[in-house]
Amino acid sequence: MKPLRNVTRMIDPNGQPVVKVPLANTELVATVDSDIYDKLIETGISTNWNFNKASPKDNGYVRTALNGSRVCVARLIAQAKPRENVHYLNDDTLDLRKENLYVAKGNSKRAWILQEIST
């Protein structure tokens, strides 16, 4: 599948290969690990990624389509299950590198920290 917009492959400051994905109807660009981007595309997700922001208070998130349904790209990468939330270590919802994502039950970083302490 040919991308609607050209992605840029590069090496990030940590020396890791990443892909910069331009988002539809905005100047924003998402960053994702190169190998993960390739796997996502192989699964058949749309190359038309967009930024969804429901309200001014909302941080927004990157979405695309898979089998006709809208999906959150971070949830796919983090393999989040129902009732699990994806959080961003650096609070940048455009940074979809696996090292920046973590999954927690509940809706706060506090829930993740408490889970880590108890294990």
- Is 56 within a domain? yes
pLDDT value of residue 39: 96
| Of the candidates 101, 70, 63, 107, the residue with the CA atom closest to the CA atom of residue 85 | 107
Q: How far apart are CA 50 and CA 94, in angstroms?
A: 10
In a domain, 1, yes or no: no
The full length of the chain comes to 119
**What tens digit of pLDDT does each residue of 8-62 get?**
999 999 999 999 999 998 999 999 999 999 999 999 999 999 999 877 777 899 9
* b (16+ CB within 10 A) / e for 25-35: eeebbbbbbbe
Judge whether 49 and 29 are in contact, CB under 8 Å.
no
For residues 69 and 64, what is the distance between their CA atoms, to the nearest angstrom? 8
3 lies in some domain: no
Q: Is the residue at 49 inside a domain?
A: yes
pLDDT at 5: 78
Amino acid 61: pLDDT: 94
Q: What is the pLDDT of residue 77?
A: 96
Q: What is the pTM of this model?
A: 0.83
| pLDDT tens digits, one per residue of 80-112 | 998 899 999 999 999 999 999 999 886 555 444
CB 38 within 8 A of CB 25: no
Structural domain span for residue 23: 8-118
